[in-house]
Structure 1
Amino acid sequence: MERPDFFELNNGEKVKLPFSDKEYKNRVSKLRDVMSNNNMDMVILTSMHNIAYYTGFIYCSFGRPYGCVVTKDKIVTISANIDASQPWRRSHCNNVIYTDWKRDNFLRAIVSIIGRDDPPKTIGIENDHVTLDIKEKLNSIFSIAIFKDISKHLMKQRMIKSDEEISIIKNGARIADLGAEEIVKHIKPGQSELEIAIAGRDKMEREIAKSYPDAEYMDTWVWFQSGINTDGAHNPKTNRALKNGDILSLNTFPMISGYYTALERTLFVNEIDDASLKAWEANVKVHKRGLELIKPGVKCSEICEELNNLFAELGYLQYRTFGYGHSFGMLSHFYGREAGVELREDIDTILEKNMVISMEPMIMIPEGKPGAGGYREHDILVIKEDGAENITKFPFGPDHNIIKN
C-alpha cells in the first residue's frame, strides 16, 4: 500500500471559534503588514500561542512538530495525523496533515503548501521557539533563504487586545472569582490542599462550559497552597491538611480557548499572629498603591521603582520575590509570554489603551522568622483611554480573608 507523506482531510464541519472570522482576518492582516515591512516572503509559526492567536487552533504536541505557514495570500496549519481533522475544524483557515510513515514529513508538508517554483527568499521564524534541530532542517530545504526572527513583532501585536479579546478576558476574571468563592466554602482545619483545589477547579470548568458551550475545555487549574507551601508562587498543590493559623495562597486559573486569567489571594485559617498581620498589611498597602499607578502613559519600570521604594519604607523590600505584574492574553503556564508588558525594573514599555496587566506584589518570609510564609494579592486591570478598569472583584486583605470555621 502506498502511504502518503501528507494529505488534506476536511472531516465534519467547521465549528464555532472563540472569536469572529473578522477578528482572525484582522490579526492575519496585521501579521502580513509586519511581513511586508520586513521584506518577508513567508512566515513559519511553530509555537502554540502564535498558531492559536492567528488561527484558533491550539495544538497538543506530544513530541511532534506543528506549524502554520503564512504567505501573502495563504495561511495553512500543519498538524500530525494523530489529530485527524480536529485542527481543520478548530481553525479559520486550511490545514495540511502530515503522516508518521517517513521522518521529516512535517517539512515536506511545508514545501507542499508553497510549492517549488518560487522558493521564499526571506522567511520569518520564532527564534524563541524554533529548536536547533528544526532550524537546521529548515536551512536544508530553504538553502538560499534568509531567516529573520519575527517573535518580538508578534508579541507586540498580542500586547494590544481587541474588544473581543477583552470580552473573553473579563469573563475569565469573573469565573476566577467564582472559583475563589467556591474554594472559601471548603477552607477549614483538616481539609487538604488537593480537595479544596478540586472544588474550585470543578466550579470554574462548569461555568466555562455554561458560558462557552461550543468551546474545547482544557488546562483550567487551581494552585491552593498552605503553610510552608506558600513560599513559591508556582508551587503545586499537595495533600497537606490545613491547620489553625495557617497562611494560605489561593490561586484560580480559568483557561478559555487558550486565554489565561488569574485570581490570587492571601488568606488565613481562623486566626493570625501579629507578625503575619503586619507583613500581610504591608503587602496589601503595596497592592493598593500599585492599583492606583496602573494607567495609560506610565512606564512599567517607573511603577516598579515606586513600589520598591514603598516596600523599602515598610521594611519588606528584601522579601520581594518577583515582578509586580504581567500581561494577559493567549498564554499559559506552559506556553506564551508577553514579556514586553511586565512590571519589572528592566521593562520600559509605556502602558497604553487595551493592554491588560496584573498587579501582584509578593513577599516571602522564610521559615523560622516571624510571619513566615508567602503573601500575594493579584488583580487584573484593563487599560482605558484615561485610566484602568479593575476586572477582579474578589475582596482582598485581613478584613475579608481570615476564614473562620
Structure 2
Amino acid sequence: MLLPELKLRRDKIRALMAQQNIDAAIITCNVNLLYTYGQIVSGYLYLPLHAPARLFLKRPNNITGEHIHPIRKPEQIADLLKENNLPVPQTLMLEGDELPYTEYMRLSAIFPEATIVNGTPIIRQARSTKTDIEIIMFHRAAKAHAAAYEQIPSVYHEGMSDKEFSIEIERLMRLQGCLGIFRVFGQSMEIFMGSVLTGDNAATPSPYDFALGGKGLDPSLPGGLDGSVLKEGQSVMVDLGGNFNGYMCDMSRVFSIGKLTDEAYAAHQVCLEIQEKIASLAKPGVACEELYDAAIDIVTKANFADNFMGIDQKAKFIGHGIGLEINEAPVLAPRIKQELEPGMVLAIEPKIVLPSVGPVGIENSWVVTAEGIEKLTICNEEIIQL
C-alpha cells in the first residue's frame, strides 16, 4: 500500500492521540496492523506522536527497509528506541479491548514509568471514517459481491437444504474473489462467512448480536443455517459477508421457494420503505438514533413491529458501521447520539421475520457523502422466486 495512504491513516490516529496527550502507541492486533501498516505481520508498529512510525518485526523475516527492526521479543523495543535517540513515552496507548491480558501486561512492562491508556476506542474512531482509497476498496468489493449474488438462482435445485444452498453460494463468492474470513470485533461474535436463513430458523435466538439468529449446525457455532430443507412457501435470506479485499461489504437478499404469502410481500415492501426513508434522512450531522426511530415509526404503523429484527429475541439496531471488521462504528440504534460523518460506511438492514414463512427485508452497504448517503451494493432488491 502507498505510504501517503498509510501516513494519512496514522495521522488520523495521531490527531486523536494528541487530544488526550498520548505520546506513542504500540499496535499489534491484526486488523489494526492492516489499517496502519497495510499488511498483517507478527510484530509491533510503534507509532510516536511526533516521529515516523517504526515496525518491530518478528515474522515474516523477509521485510526490510527504513524504520524496520527485526526482533525476537517485544522487550527489545525500549533499547532500540534509545539506540535511535527516540524519547521514551510518558503516556503509552495499547489496544486494551483487543489484547489478551498477558500480552497487555507484557507490553505495559516495556516502559514501566509510562502511564498506559486503552487505545482501542481511539483506533476504532479513526477507522470509522474511511479514506478515499478505502471507499474505492468498498466500491470494488460491492461490485464483486453483487456479481456473486446475481448468480444465486442458477445454483438452486429442488430439495436442497439451507446448508447445500449456502455451500453453492459460498462457491460463487469465492470465485468472485471472496477471501472467506469474516472479521468481527470482540470475542463474543463469530460466524463462517455469514448466514443463510430459511423458515422458522430465522427466528431462533442466538447468543451472537447479529440482526437475525439461527440455530446453527452445532453448539460450537450456534448461529446461522441449521440444515433445514428449503420448502415450498418459505423464504430464504442470504447474508454472506463480502470480504474481497479486507473490507467487509455487507448485503442481504431474499429468495422464495415458490410463492410466499401476501403478508410476506407486504412486509418486504415495508422494509424497502424503511430503507428509502433512511436514505432520504441520512446525511452528515444526523444522529444515529433519529434513523432508528424513523424505522420503528414506519414498521409500527405497518403493524409489523412484533416481527421486526426478530420475534422473541430482537436485534436492537437497524444498521451498523462496516470496514475491516463487520461491526464498526457507528451503530444505528436507540439512544445512540453519535452523528454521521462523511466517509463513514454503513450497512442498513431492516428485516422482518414471519412465522412459518421466514425472513424478508433488505441489507445494503452505503457510504456517507457530504450531501447524504450513496448505495454501494447494487442488485435486485425484490424477493426472487427460485
TM bucket (normalised to shorter chain) is 0.7 to 0.9
Residue 121 of structure 2, aligned match among 121, 127, 152: 152
Q: Which residue of 1 aligns with 2:385?
A: 402
Query: Is the contact between residue 251 and residue 347 of structure 2 (CA under 8 Å) also seen in structure 1?
Result: no
- Counterpart for residue 196 of structure 2: 224
Unaligned runs of 5+ in 1: 1-16, 60-64, 99-104, 210-216
Show the counterpart of 1:76. Answer: 54
The answer (yes or no) to whether the contact 2:251–2:377 under 8 Å persists in 1 is yes
2:107 corresponds in structure 1 to 138
Aligned to 2:138: 169
Which residue matches 2:365? 380
Is 2:295 the partner of 1:307? Answer: yes
Q: Is the 8 A contact 1:121 1:145 kept in 2?
A: yes
Instruction: Note the C-alpha offset of 1:109.
Output: 3.9
State the AA in 1 paired with 2:345. V
TM-score after normalising by structure 2: 0.81
Compared CA separation, residues 191 and 134, structure 1 to 2 (3 A): same
1:286-325 paired onto structure 2 within 5 Å: 286-320=274-308, 321-322=314-315, 323-325=317-319
**Are 1:276 and 2:267 matched, yes or no?**
no
Deviation at 1:80, TM superposition (A): 4.7
Q: Distance in 1 between matches of 2:106 and 2:130?
A: 35
Q: 1:195 to 1:79 in 2, by over 3 A?
A: farther
Aligned positions of 1:176-187 closer than 5 A: 176-187=145-156
Distance in 2, Cα, partners of 1:74 & 1:21? 11
Is 1:26 the counterpart of 2:11 in the alignment? no
- Residues 37-83 of structure 1: CA deviation (Å, up to 9, x unaligned): 43322201233222111101235xxxxx85322123242345554x4
State the partner residue of 1:120: 89
Mapped pair 1:353 → 2:338: no
Render the CA deviation track for 1:272-295: whole Å, top value 9, x for unaligned.
123433433333332332232222
What does residue 101 of structure 1 align with? Answer: none
TM-score of the two chains, using structure 1 as the length reference: 0.77
Return the offset for 1:305.
Answer: 0.9
Kept after mapping to 2: 8 A contact 1:364/1:373? yes
The count of corresponding residues between Structure 1 and Structure 2 is 351
When residues 80 and 181 of structure 1 are mapped into structure 2, their CA distance, relative to the original with a 3 A threshold, is same
State the superposition RMSD in angstroms.
Answer: 2.8
1:242 CA drift (Å): 1.8
The structure 2 residue matched to 1:199, chosen from 149, 158, 168, is 168
Ranges of 4+ aligned residues in structure 1 off by more than 6 Å: none
Question: Please, which moves more after superposition, 143-152 or 285-294?
Answer: 285-294
Q: Equivalents in 2 of 1:77, 1:228: separation in Å? A: 50
Matches of 1:394 and 1:97, distance apart in 2? 49
- 177-186 vs 112-121, greater mean Cα deviation: 112-121
When residues 31 and 387 of structure 1 are mapped into structure 2, their CA distance, relative to the original with a 3 A threshold, is closer
After superposition, the C-alpha distances for 1:320-368 in whole angstroms (9 at most, x for unaligned) are: 3321111122214xxxx423x1111122122222221122112334xxx
Match of 2:23 among 26, 41, 48: 41
Secondary structure at the counterpart of residue 326 of structure 1: strand
- Cα separation, 1, equivalents of 2:273 and 2:180: 35
- CA–CA distance in structure 2, aligned partners of residues 272 and 233 of structure 1: 21
Q: Partner letter of residue 132 of structure 1?
A: Y
Corresponding residue number in structure 1 for 2:351: 362
CA deviation after TM superposition for structure 1 residue 170, in Å:
0.8
Tell me, yes or no, if the aligned pair for 1:67 and 1:79 is still in contact at 8 Å: yes
Q: What's the counterpart of residue 392 of structure 1?
A: 377
Q: Structure 2 counterpart of 1:58, which letter? A: I
Q: 5+ residue gaps in structure 2? A: 183-192, 204-211, 215-222, 309-313
Give the partner amino acid of 1:196: F
Percentage of pairs with the same residue: 21
Q: SS of the counterpart of 1:396?
A: coil
1:96 maps onto 2:70 in alignment: yes
> How many angstroms apart in 1 are the aligned matches of 2:235 and 2:324?
31
Q: SS where residue 332 of structure 2 aligns?
A: coil
CA deviation digits over 1:126-162, x for unaligned, max 9? Answer: 2221333233333433221101222222222212211
> Given the superposition, is the C-alpha separation of residues 260 and 113 from structure 1 closer, same or farther in structure 2, using an over 3 Å criterion?
farther
